[in-house]
Structure 1
Amino acid sequence: MRRARTGSRREPTIALINIVFLMLVFFMVAGTLAQPMDKDLNLVRTADLEGRPPPDALVIRADGTLSYLGVELTSSAAYMLPRNDVANPEVRLVPDRDLPADQLVRIARELRALGAGRVMIVTERGLE
């Protein structure tokens, strides 16, 4: 009489992987991930746009000097002075690329302390 083997039964993991893979393929084919764009649509090209700050932005140069509408300001308080009639005005900052980060943070904190509701930093976005 032979003795039955007491080997370990392996779980059918390959079958489980196949089922999951088939489900993935099914949902990719059946569902639409994103609506396709209209074939007649031509997107706007921004490669040739002239880079200039928004008209209401406070420009901070690399040496930390501030300017608004081409006029040099002595402090961030001089920028906030005409905005005292608006509660929590939004402030847009356009910092120079070479401006140290600690100076940018310091100026943003000064503007918040002077009553700015939201301080936004305007940056260049590279899409190439």
Structure 2
Amino acid sequence: MKRFSKPIHLPELIKGPKRDSSLALINVVFLLLVFLLVSGTLRPPMPNEFDWAETTSDNGGGTLQGSLVLDRTGGIWLGAERLSDPEIDKLLADLAAGGGKLSLQVDRRAQMSSVSAVAKRAKESGLKTLSLITVEAAGQ
């Protein structure tokens, strides 16, 4: 009995280019940048020299997003823009039509007459709820 043998040639595996691990690092840095940009815009901007009013009671339900800011001079701000009287009246009318809730961030140096004037305007426009947003007093 005769045997025949035939050599088998296995091709060598050709290694491709090394995988660059900098792509994963670029992805992480990009995601971190997006996170920082988003988290920096979550809190609305405040007028210059705004100082929060303090409270000792915690039973409110206002939100910072979309809230108005009452500064020490009695001016009303939405974000970084001071509103005129017609703009305030239009905004209050829109809020009254959309559910009737308003949150107001109050400066500690604002006069009570300014706060009551805003409350009166809100009531006249048909708002059902006015929440004053303050910070908790230290040591209370």
Question: What TM-score results when the alignment is normalised by the length of structure 1?
Answer: 0.52
Offset of residue 84 of structure 1 = 4.7
Is 1:110 the equivalent of 2:121?
yes
% same residue: 13
The answer as to whether partners of 2:96 and 2:127 remain within 8 angstroms in 1 is no
Question: SS of the counterpart of 1:83?
Answer: helix
Counterparts of 2:112 and 2:120, CA distance in 1 = 12
Q: CA deviation at 1:106?
A: 1.3
> Would you say 1:125 and 2:136 are equivalent positions?
yes
- TM-score, length basis structure 2: 0.48
Is contact 2:95-2:101 (8 Å) kept? Answer: no
Is the CA contact 1:58–1:67 (under 8 Å) kept in the aligned structure 2?
yes
How far has the Cα of 1:85 moved from its partner?
3.4
The answer to whether the 8 Å contact 1:63/1:99 transfers is: yes
Q: 1:86, 1:77 → 2: CA distance?
A: 14
Q: How many residues align?
A: 78
Between the two structures, name the one with larger relative contact order (CA 8 Å, sep ≥ 6).
2
* Residue type at the aligned position of 1:57: S
Cα deviation, 1:13-40, whole Å, max 9, x if unaligned, reads: xxxxxxxxxxxxxxxxxxxxxxxxxxxx
Which of 73, 79, 87 lines up with 2:83 in the alignment?
Answer: 73
1:32-111 aligned at under 5 Å gives the runs 54-75=64-85, 76-87=88-99, 89-111=100-122
* Unaligned residue ranges in structure 2 (runs of 5+): 1-42, 47-63
Is this contact kept in 2: 1:73–1:79, CA < 8 A? Answer: no
2 CA distance for matches of 1:78 and 1:85?
A: 11
Q: Following superposition, which runs of at least 4 residues in structure 1 exceed 4 angstroms of deviation?
A: none
